[in-house]
Structure 1
Amino acid sequence: KQIKGLEALIRWQDPVLGFVPPDKFIPIAEESGYIYDIGLWVIKEALRALKVIHSINPSLTMAINVSGKQLENSDFYEDVVAIVRESAIATEKIEFEITETAIMENIQSVVPILQKIKEFGIKISIDDFGTGYSSMAYLKKLPLDSLKIDRAFIMDLEKDEEDRAIVQAILALSNALNLTTIAEGVEKIEHKEILEEMGCNIYQGYLYSKPLDLNALLEFMS
């Protein structure tokens, strides 16, 4: 087995407050409008890290979470192009993850932006798939490369028949649309074995590694 790619996660370690989890500050950033600048900073930092990572393994991709608020900003595409060109990272090594809820909340304006990003060469993935409300009619119109099955369907996979049925259905849908499928929240060898039997071969979760900062990641890789 080998590492196929990485996901950039934002973490805030405050000298006074200590660790501030994303679910505490991201909603505030979205409400205040700061999420746009934070999002661009995350893309820059993720690509800066990927450049270092590529010195060890140039085949790895980097997935970066993008919010609906970012996609609604008319400058987003041009800002992304400028950041990527400055980084000199090949676009096929970059993937943007968007939750299906973020897409469906403003699908008419989001689809053209995603199409431009896809044409630029960046891959597009639906994150936390299965927890939103995307319709099959819209799903086939989205310029997608992959689906990430939400961890809610994986955590009890070895003992919940309904979860297994849902995962099997998502895999069938993904295969029919020629998409890559990634399972999130894989924490037990049983999860991996069941998913492998179902035909899902890309996994993300604590079975392989907890989130690491760049230095710890480089040590892990070497």
Structure 2
Amino acid sequence: MNALLSLTATLLFSLLLVHLVNRREQRRREIRWRQRRARAQIEGLEEVLIGLEETLSDRRIAERINREIQHQLEAALALENGRNTHLETRLNHVKERAEELENNRRQARANRLRESDAQLARTRECLDQAARVLRRQHNQGRLERETLDEFLRELSWSRLMVEVVTYVAEGHKSLQRGDITSALAYYKKAQGLLIASDHPNPHRMEIIRELGDMIQGKRKALSPELMPETDYNP
């Protein structure tokens, strides 16, 4: 009887031990998965930040994305057992970048002109991803509604103008090749995007009018104030 009780106790202890080992291993796997996921998100956010820096002259949205990168890095560090000098170095760099963004909130010039469909698609994705991050920050109580709405309007206007500027530039390129038909088609396509939009930016109607003048041959390019990307202006 004693032997049976001892055997039963041993079996129960073994089962408990196996259960504890399995739980610990499962926990380790979960932590590794969360770490990989956090690192992937950080890399994606870095790409978004680069896209914003290329496209927007107002760097306040880039500030918010940089804060998200800092938030993700701090979360990744919290999952580490002991120190991780690589993540700590990245975190310090992000904090230094935050100071630089705060001290220089406007760039001398942003460039919305893209040279290929792939570049155009990448920029649209960066702007869309930035909007998703801002909405998430608002839902988590880290961004005021009024500021969110302002930033979303800025992103949607930039998304629209990246396409408009690129099509106008393609029209200029066609004009330089002597292909007037293609040039007019690009100008009309750019104008059509603006007409189809209901964005409240006051420059929208100005650009529509000036594109109309270009289509009618009354002017060669948009005003530099509306389109400072003059690389291909005739």
TM-score bucket (shorter structure): 0.3 to 0.5
TM-score w.r.t. the length of structure 2 is 0.33
More strand by share: 1
More helix by share: 2
Q: Which has the larger radius of gyration?
A: 2
TM-score w.r.t. the length of structure 1 is 0.34
